[in-house]
Structure 1
Amino acid sequence: MKTLKAFVVLITLLSSQSFAADAARGQKLFKSCVQCHGADGAGIEKQKAPRIAGQHEWYIISSIKQFKAGKERKNPPMLPFIKKLSNTDIADLAAYISTLK
């Protein structure tokens, strides 16, 4: 029984590490966002791009997925970029954006 418990714990730890978002990769993806949201994620009023810095990772993921599905605000310049993002890309991007203050 102890062996089974140890195995379950080990698998759980390994699984969580393999699914962890990669903020460094997200930073590279964020380069496409800088033109409108700014390097610090503070947003650019002239572009009508909102502040995204300081948002929780889960909120960013939810917002991007809803936008991609056409359920949230319309922003034609952003749509081509968003449509290309995979779920992994979205998670990585959100991991990076959530570090911005």
Structure 2
Amino acid sequence: MKRFTTSKILLLASLLIAPMLASADVVAGKALYSSCVACHGANAEGNPAMNAPALNGQFPEYLARQLNHFKDGIRGADAKDSLGMQMRAMTAVLADKQAITDVSEYIASLPVTAVATKIEGDVRNGNNLYQGNCGSCHGGKGEGNQALNSPRLAGLDEAYLIRQINNFKQGIRGTHQMDRFGRQMKLMANTVRSDKDLLDMAAYLHALPVQ
């Protein structure tokens, strides 16, 4: 049986991804993003007051996957996920997968910024918990790992991080049979034992420097 090294697997993945990225029209993506600015901000920096997470700094493949999930009812279909349902409705402005690719690539091209909010939590405990449970996939500094399909977490606001972990734990997100990575995350979310631990991890991730 022919064996593939990690480097060969990553090379193959990059070759498969490249055609999608090459076909992206960032100019068209900018025009499409105009419908997102009111909630997510001009630079996709997010707005906690609007329950809108930061999008800049994310990998375009992750953004496209989530938008496709919303559009296809894989995410945001649960009646308990009112904010997800709103986002699902917003994807109606994206006519097809090309539009999703275009807007995802545009968002990923924006400068990484963060909304300045203060989170009360034990950052040291949050660091310990995060490194032990999440760092191997999402990166030691929450920078994400494209090869593992793990999004960036650094700089995301407290409410969004806590809400998504609880959504995974409660089965509101990550139960659809087509959401393979969501199902993995649901299992990991169950390792967070208390609300305090979750708050501490959120405080740690939000405190990380924007790069």
**TM-score in same-fold range (> 0.5):** yes
Q: CA deviation at 1:76?
A: 3.6
Determine which of 26, 51, 56 is the counterpart of 1:53.
56
Q: What residue ranges of structure 2 are gaps of 5+ in the alignment?
A: 1-18, 113-211
The aligned residue for residue 36 of structure 2 is: 33
> C-alpha offsets along residues 36-93 of structure 1, whole Å, 9 cap, x if unaligned?
1000101011110001000001000101011112222443433333034211100000
Segments of 5+ residues of structure 1 without an aligned counterpart are 1-15
What is the alpha-carbon distance in structure 1 between the residues aligned to residue 90 and residue 98 of structure 2?
Answer: 14
1:89 equivalent to 2:74? Answer no
- After TM superposition, the runs of 4+ consecutive aligned structure 1 residues lying more than 6 A away are none
1:71 maps onto 2:47 in alignment: no
Measure the CA separation in 2 of the matches of 1:62 and 1:39: 22
Q: Secondary structure at the match of 1:97?
A: helix
Whole-angstrom CA distance in 2 between matches of 1:42 and 1:94: 14
Partner of 1:22: 25
Query: C-alpha separation between the residues in 1 aligned to 2:70 and 2:30?
Result: 20
TM-score (norm 1): 0.75
TM-score, structure 2 as length reference = 0.37
Q: Deviations over 1:6-39 (max 9, x none)?
A: xxxxxxxxxx59x610011100000000011000
CA distance in 1, matches of 2:48, 2:93: 25
Q: How many residues matched?
A: 85
In the alignment, the residues of structure 2 paired with residue 77 and residue 42 of structure 1 have an alpha-carbon distance, to the nearest angstrom, of 19
